Chain A
Amino acid sequence: MVEISALFHGFAVVLSPFNLLLMMIGIVLGVIIGVLPGLGGANGVAILLPLTFTMPPTSAIIMLSCIYWGALFGGAITSVLFNIPGEPWSVATTFDGYPMAQQGRAGEALTASFTSSFIGALFAVIMITFLAPLVAKFALKFGPPEFFSVYLLTFCSFIGMGKGSAWKTLAAMMLGFALAAIGMDNITGRLRLTFGFPEMMRGVDFLIAVIGLFGIGEILLSMEEGLSFTGKTAKINPKVVLETWKKLPRYWLTSIRSCLIGCWMGITPGGATPASFMSYGIAKRMSKEGDKFGKGQIEGVIAPETAAHAAGTSALLPMLALGIPGSPTAAVLLGGLLIWGLQPGPLLFVEQKDFVWGLIASMYLGNLAGLIIVLTCVPLFAAILRVPFSIIAPVIVVICAIGAYSVHSAMLDIWLMMLFGVVGYVFKKLDYPLAPLVLALVLGDRAEDSFRQAMLIAQGDMRIFFSNGLVGSITALALVMLFWPVVSRGIAKARGA
């Protein structure tokens, strides 16, 4: 088993005092970010990214990925105690988590949710450990047409698998691509869409978009809801934890099912949020006590939390192995790789062994450390949410502005961030999905490069995307995904007939 020895090498990289310290800092920051409205995994990581420019890449990614784990854990705290999902993927956790807290079982609900989060993440990390190197090895054979067809698959799945209007998904995605095109053309060096403004030459950095869309947009949304934080108090003591742990093995089937749903939704860019809803829905249908869901059923906490963490973690698999992120946060981490001077993609597993295996090892340790920290410090984190909104809101705006400025030390970026904030608010209210916009903005240039390279090879013949078995099947799969609603209806009809 090459993977096992590589993994142990990774542990050796991570287990330095400096990296362990960064891991702890990352998790605590992440939980705080997850608890606060307006700050989430994606923009939290984006804001802190500039602080890591001078760090060694391995330490930097350990800290940033730990922020991500922390944010995943943090979302559950507010869902259970305050009935306010700190993150979109913890909405489903409120359905049963908050009723449990109302019945005085907050400690039980939190223990269950943290533990299931941990199990979901662990499952996904184990999968990454063994699957990612294989995928990367396979992807080494890819040329430009294959890469473009994988991008096509990513974006087509967004359109076909998305919940809302497919046109809106397409519009948001194309807006992302258009924004990505601003600036210098990589191949010919000509300026595009700059309309004569030299400031526009730099293009629109997706970090600015992430900070604006998710940070400022979220603040505006929370303001509209007129947040008043009245929450339940939680006492977690070892006795509650042990008693809950004794109950958990009974729900092993729900856990495994949720892990699988989460991993599937994470690798295909479905993301943590739909994964949590899907897992909750299926658990409700399959459970013997399905009618009790929504009234404080522990299974209703286990299912969404396990799936959300499994999805959030496995979104890193395509990011590591192919250089294609499965979620906005993974996209931000990918942006980090580029800034630290690493080329994302399958070669990472060959050329940057320390980095890749250090990151994978830190996922194991980070989630374990996260579980311990959240179990012991819940009251502390809940106290943050009791700070009034009129103090939190301006501080978050300031943090977002600093984050936006420090990406390129450009004042224009702060204005752009505000613009993206308004766009984020309007888009969210009209159900334009933000994830495809961000991913298109990140992948736009590389999708275009691979498309143009493929076109150059083929002399403009589109048939290159069906020229061999590999690229042909990926392209065909992409088209199936694109028309999935039609295809699935067709299958249902065929069965009915």
Chain B
Amino acid sequence: MSDPETAAPKAGISTRTMEIAVALVLLAVSALVVFDSYRLGSKWGDDGPQSGYFPFYIGLLLGIASLATLARAFVMQRPGGIFVGWGELKLVFSVLVPAFVYVLGVQLVGIYVASALYIALFMRWLGHYPWAKSVAIGFGVSAMIFLMFEVWFKVPLYKGAYDALAWLGY
């Protein structure tokens, strides 16, 4: 193992920053759970434990666990290396961002049209495939899915707010 100090320092988000951020998010979630359980009643009612009884302690334990993780992140001796380098982060986002745009597309035009466009454009832009091949695979996969779900298994999938495939009659 090469020492992270002596090896060429790679820029990126440090693991410690990430540890602290995640612990804080979990702490916030635990606070949310505890408050909502308290609102519902986390004690012993006339007819047994109230609705918030069990979640209250769940939230409490989550809070304790995240505080412990937080404390450990602060006293961490070594910086603990980097969580992700900028170059890698760019790669991750090059998948993550299109995926979110795709889900937005599904919301608007439905799964079939959005999937065809998503696969085709992903192949074209990130894989640098020729347009013809990208479009063929994108629409081919989408058509296969359509046949499998709508026609054979009769499981209707989301058609979107603006259904572009209404003319197919499914």
Interface residues of A (CB under 8 A from B): 50-51, 53-54, 165, 167-168, 170-171, 174-175, 177-178, 181, 185, 187-188, 190, 192-193, 195, 216, 219-220, 223-224, 226, 388, 390-391, 393-395, 397-398, 401-402, 405-406, 409, 411, 414-415, 418, 421-422, 425-427, 429-430, 432, 448, 451-452, 455-456, 460
Per DSSP, chain A at the interface is: helix
- Cβ-closest chain B residue relative to A220: B92
- Asked whether, in the complex, the Cβ of B22 is within 8 Å of the Cβ of A178, the reply is no
Contacting pair A220 B158 (CB below 8 A): no
Would you call A460 and B58 a contact (CB within 8 A)? no
Please tell me the number of chain B residues within 8 Å of chain A, measured between CB atoms: 67
Please count the residue pairs between chain A and chain B whose beta carbons lie under 8 angstroms apart in the complex.
Answer: 171
Instruction: Establish whether residues A190 and B40, one from each chain, have CB atoms under 8 Å apart when the complex forms.
Output: yes
C-alpha gap A200/B103 in the complex (Å): 19
Q: Are B50 and A390 in contact (CB under 8 A)?
A: no
Tell me the nearest residue of chain A to B94, going by C-beta. Answer: A223
> Would A398 and B145 be within 8 Å (CB), given that A192-B51, A451-B54 are in contact?
yes
CB of A167 within 8 A of CB of B157, answer: no
Q: Are A405 and B158 in contact (CB under 8 A)?
A: yes
Known: A181-B58, A390-B127, A451-B54. Is A430-B66 also a contact (CB below 8 A)? no
Given contacts A165-B72, A395-B141, A401-B102, A460 and B49 within 8 Å (CB-CB): yes
Residue numbers of B with Cβ under 8 A of A are: 15, 18-19, 22-23, 26, 29-30, 32-33, 36-37, 40, 44, 48-55, 58-59, 61-62, 64-66, 68-69, 72, 83-84, 88, 91-92, 94-96, 98-100, 102-103, 106-107, 111, 115, 118-119, 122-123, 126-127, 129, 137, 141-142, 145, 149, 153-158
B54 contacts A452, C-beta separation under 8 Å: yes
Please state if A192 and B37 are interface contacts (CB–CB under 8 Å): yes
User: Which residue from chain A places its CB closest to the CB of B148 in the assembled complex?
Assistant: A51
Q: When the two chains form their complex, are residues B123 and A391 in contact, meaning their CB atoms are under 8 A apart?
A: yes
Nearest CB of chain B from residue A449's CB, rounded to whole Å: 9
Task: Please name 6 further chain A to chain B contacts, defined as beta carbons within 8 Å, in addition to the given A223-B92, A224-B91, sorted by A numbering.
Answer: A224-B92, A405-B157, A429-B18, A430-B15, A451-B54, A455-B49
B142 to chain A: which residues have CB within 8 Å? 398
How far is A451 from B56 in the complex, measured between Cα atoms in Å?
Answer: 14
User: Contact partner of B157 among A190, A193, A406, CB < 8 A?
Assistant: A406
Interface centre among B29, B58, B66, B102 (most CB of A within 10 A): B58
Bound together, the chains give a CA A406 to CA B94 distance in angstroms of 26
**Contacting pair A426 B22 (CB below 8 A):** yes
Question: Can you pick out 8 interface pairs between chain A and chain B where the beta carbons lie within 8 Å of each other?
Answer: A171-B62, A171-B66, A178-B62, A220-B95, A226-B91, A390-B127, A405-B106, A405-B157
Contacting residues, chain B, for A394 (C-beta < 8 A): 98, 102, 118-119, 122-123
Instruction: Report the separation of the CA atoms of residues A427 and B21 in the bound assembly, to the nearest whole angstrom.
Output: 12
Residues on B with C-beta less than 8 A from A51 are 153, 155
Are B19 and A193 interface neighbours, CB within 8 A? no
- Contact between B119 and A398, CB atoms less than 8 A apart: yes
Contact partners of B88 in chain A: CB under 8 A: 224, 226
B127-A397 in contact (CB<8A): no
Name the one of B22, B36, B126 contacting A192, with C-beta atoms under 8 angstroms: B36
Are B65 and A167 touching (Cβ within 8 A)?
yes
Most buried by B among A181, A398, A414, A422: A398
What residues on B are CB-neighbors of A219 within 8 Å? 95
Q: Which of A165, A391, A397 contacts B137 (CB 8 A)?
A: A391
- Give the residue of B65, B141, B154 whose beta carbon is less than 8 angstroms from that of A168: B65
Residues of B within 8 A of A390 (CB): 122-123, 126-127, 129
CA gap between A171 and B63 in the complex, in Å:
8
Pairwise interchain contact B62-A174, C-beta atoms closer than 8 A: yes
Q: What CA separation (Å) do A455 and B44 show in the bound complex?
A: 10
* A188 and B51 contact, Cβ closer than 8 Å, known pairs A223-B92, A223-B94, A429-B83: yes
Residues of A within 8 A of B157 (CB): 402, 405-406
Q: How far is the CA of A187 from the CA of B48 in the complex (A)?
A: 10
Chain B residues positioned under 8 Å from A192 (CB to CB): 36-37, 40, 51-52, 55
**Given A188-B51, A192-B36, A418-B103, are A426 and B18 also a contact pair (CB < 8 Å)?**
yes
